[in-house]
Amino acid sequence: MTAPSSKTAGPDRGRLAALLLGAIGVVYGDIGTSPLYTFRECLTEEHGIAVIPANIYGVVSLVFWALVIVVSVKYVLFVMRADNKGEGGILALLALATQSRPDASGRLGFLMALGVFGAALFYGDGIITPAISVLSAVEGLEIAEPALERVVVPMTLVILVLLFSIQSRGTSKVGALFGPIMVLWFVVLAILGLAQVVQAPEILAALDPRYGLSFLAENRLKAFTVLGSVVLAVTGAEALYVDMGHFGRFPIQAAWFGLVLPSLMLNYLGQAALLLHDPEAVRNPFYLLAPDWALYPLIALATAAAVIASQAVISGVFSLTRQAVQLGLCPRLDIRHTSSEEEGQIYIARANWGLLFAIIGLVLWFESSGNLAAAYGIAVTGTMLISTILALVVARRRWHWSVLLCVLVGGVFLIVDVAFFAANIIKVPQGGWAPLAIGVVTLFLMSTWRRGRAVLSRRLAEDSLPLEDFVKRQAKSPIHRVKGTAVFMTSGAGTVPIAMLHNLKHNQVLHERVVFLTVLVDDVPRVPAKDRVTVEGLAEGFYRIVVRYGFSQEPNIPNALRLCKALGLEFDMMTTSFFLGRETLIPKMQPPMAQWREKLFVVMSRTSVSATDFFKIPPNRVVELGTQVQL
């Protein structure tokens, strides 16, 4: 019998309740706010779908089966099995999918590009989610008082600016409030929907998939365009997988099947039941579920839920950005921990303000959640489609599923994903261009940085010397040694760092202990402390140290060097100097990549945080040696 996961093995009731509460508050904020706009967008006039019983039954049936197939079966039961040592998310999935045979370089290149583009689309999701969630919540004011329509956009901007202004304080202080608020939100969703279902119980028949299939068959092209709005019901499904490492698989699954799914479906059924008796309510069926006295409290609760949904995506963008930095997909950034207890609670100032700037632009451009809905679908469906492909690769290569099983299971998921994606592609002129543009620009910047770093490493290697030859030469004709320890950081463990060559050229001395230090990032989320460092003696007074981190960890060189004591090499920071190279990049007339792209890489390099700050090296122990490198 297989032992249960450490995340869920024998948890006491208190811990399990805390995990469930946390999962409800953090994981389900995005998908939990979908009832604000999904049903309304499915029956908008643009689709040309009349608000008649047959169409109402068909749409709510499609929404129900989308939640079942995409969220319940694909993500909760299938994709979440792709556990990268407790971590989830598209980059963690990419790492699993690319751990394969060395002869599959072409396929690995394709999978790498696919995974990175999926991550780029997630940034589009991170920009659109706060905008559409807060806008749709504040738009309830139009229902309460039509004259308040003009304050919707300004109030949305104020809420978003306040939300991003407090990000630097971290979520630890307000995180405890998220769970109870979202539990209240889902309970209210269920009560509002149940009140209408009781008055029109016949709507329960819509759970029969034949209603959805009949709607598709009878309306054809119009129904196909409606699929682009049905997908709004499953936005946030990726968060279930991304946050698996924080809460464990079981709490997320239990919260979904025990509270979130029943509450969402009761609300969607309630909106459908309302429309059966009052087709005019299609202008905003969610808020019209509530009695007049409850409208303003519901607007306040919806706004709180929208802020929480936004917070979850913002935190996801921070985490994804840190992983991108560690995997060499973007320049080094200033990453600050906001909690001494939770490793995942981080703050990245550039990502924070960049997100806010982009979100403000979207709100001012689109002005309503209805206009943003067209943009939202492509980011979501693109990421879901890529996740399915990568998960099937993992199922075949790592779980050793048969080809037939992969075809049968994957075929169902791919048909649904492709249908949703195709239904949103036609909305490119109406706003779908926004996430595609964000994704393409992000992918281009990431690929430029990765390519530029590869070119730079090759240039530095051409100007360097093999480390073994250098050590042998020093043994034959030693250079004068001075007291202390010198640590030279190098990206290649087999070559002499340029900083050392410059030090010898100018100072003509070596320290009594010389350490060549290389930092590597493995394709796993975390590397345990016992595997963090390896120490190799090269010759008398020469050592090579390799420090390994996972893509979810933050490098800290002084802490890593303390681990060397157990391996027989002790460091005193007061007698240790760190020699770092600072390259001044000069574009070449005939570069290995386009010159304008090379200039872009140079600009990106100048915005990169210094190695001293990124690796947490004491500034007063650092010696920087500059060099010019022609790319």
Q: Final residue of a domain: which of 390, 422, 451?
A: 451
Count of H helices and E strands in the chain? 25, 8
498 vs 629, more confident? 498
Is position 595 within any domain?
yes
| pLDDT band (50, 70, 90) for residue 493 | low
Helix axes 369-397, 349-366, angle to 10 degrees: 130
pLDDT bin (cut points 50, 70, 90) of residue 338 is low
Nearest in space to 200 (alpha carbons), one of 141, 109, 274, 129: 274
- Structure confidence at residue 309 (pLDDT): 78
Task: Express as a percent the part of the chain with pLDDT over 70.
Answer: 89
* pLDDT recorded at residue 586: 65
Lowest mean pLDDT among 143-147, 175-179, 292-296: 175-179
pLDDT tops 70 at residue 626: no
Higher-pLDDT residue of 83, 215: 215
Check residue 249 and give its pLDDT: 80
Three-class secondary structure assignment of 250-278: HHHHHHHHHHHHHHHHHHHHHHHHHHHHC
Alpha-carbon distance of 455 to 459, in angstroms, equals 6
The reply to whether 566 falls in a domain is yes
Measured CA to CA in angstroms, residue 585 lies from 220, 578, 613, 614 at distances of 57, 22, 20, 20
Closest CA to 69 of 245, 227, 251: 227
| 215-274 per-position pLDDT tens digit | 999 998 888 989 988 998 998 787 778 777 667 788 888 899 999 999 999 999 999 999
Q: Write the DSSP assignment of 191-205 as a string of letters.
A: HHHHHHHHH-GGGGG
Tell me what pLDDT residue 529 has: 87
Q: Please check whether residue 167 is in contact with residue 244, taking contact to mean a CB–CB distance below 8 angstroms.
A: no
Helix axes of 221-230 and 369-397: crossing angle, nearest 10 degrees: 80
Task: Give the per-residue pLDDT at 65.
Answer: 96
Q: Is the dihedral of CA 50, 51, 53, 58 positive or negative?
A: positive
Interval 158-179 mean pLDDT: 73
State the pLDDT confidence band at 147, using cuts at 50, 70 and 90. Answer: confident
| 403 and 292 share one domain | yes
Report phi then psi at 485, rounded to 5.
-120, 135
Of 417, 402, 415, 387, the closest CA to residue 78 belongs to: 387
Q: How far apart are CA 111 and CA 121, in angstroms?
A: 15
Phi, psi (rounded to 5 degrees) for 544 = -120, 125
Q: How far is CA 538 from CA 68, 178, 222, 514, 619, in A?
A: 59, 54, 71, 10, 28
The answer to whether residues 447 and 469 belong to one domain is no
Whether 562 shows a pLDDT value over 50: the answer reads yes
In a shared domain, residues 444 and 497: no
Q: Which two tokens stand for residue 391?
A: 């998960």
Domain co-membership, 402 together with 485: no
State the total domains in the chain: 2
Domain at 57, CATH number:
1.20.1740.10
* One domain, residues 38 and 154: yes
Same domain, residue pair 404 and 470: no
Give the CA distances from residue 16 to residues 7, 22, 175, 183, 396, in Å, rounded to whole numbers and listed in that order: 10, 10, 17, 15, 33
**Residue 178 and residue 290 in one domain:** yes
Q: For the chain, report the end-to-end CA distance as a whole number of angstroms.
A: 57
Q: 127 and 62 in one domain?
A: yes
Residue 115: CA count within 13 A, CB half-sphere: 25
Token pair 């209210």: residue: 188
Q: Which residue has the tokens 């991170």?
A: 126
In a domain, 187, yes or no: yes
What is the pLDDT at residue 456?
A: 79
pLDDT, position 321: 84
**Model confidence over 388-422: pLDDT tens digits?**
999 999 998 888 899 999 999 999 999 999 999 99
Q: What is the mean pLDDT of residues 445-459?
A: 83
Are 421 and 521 members of one domain?
no
Does the structure show a pLDDT above 90 at 202? Answer: yes
Q: Are residues 107 and 170 in the same domain?
A: yes
- 152 and 266, same domain (yes or no): yes
Q: Is 209 among the domain residues? A: yes
Q: Which domain holds residue 589?
A: 465-630
564-598 pLDDT tens trace? 988 888 888 888 889 887 766 666 655 677 778 88
- Co-location of 424 and 469 in the same domain: no
Is residue 6 assigned to a domain? no
Q: Is 465 exposed, middle or buried (0-12, 13-18, 19+ CB in 10 A)?
A: middle
Q: Is the dihedral of CA 307, 308, 313, 316 positive or negative?
A: positive
Q: In what order do the strands lie in the sheet with 510-521?
A: 533-539, 542-549, 510-521, 481-489, 576-586, 622-630
Per-residue burial over 95-109, b = 16 or more CB atoms within 10 Å of its CB, e = otherwise: bbbbebeeeeeeebe
- pLDDT score of 463 more than 70: no
**With bands split at pLDDT 50, 70 and 90, how would you rate the model's confidence at 193?**
very high
Number of neighbouring beta carbons within 10 Å of residue 3? 6
Question: Which positions ≥6 away from 447 have C-beta within 8 Å?
Answer: 116
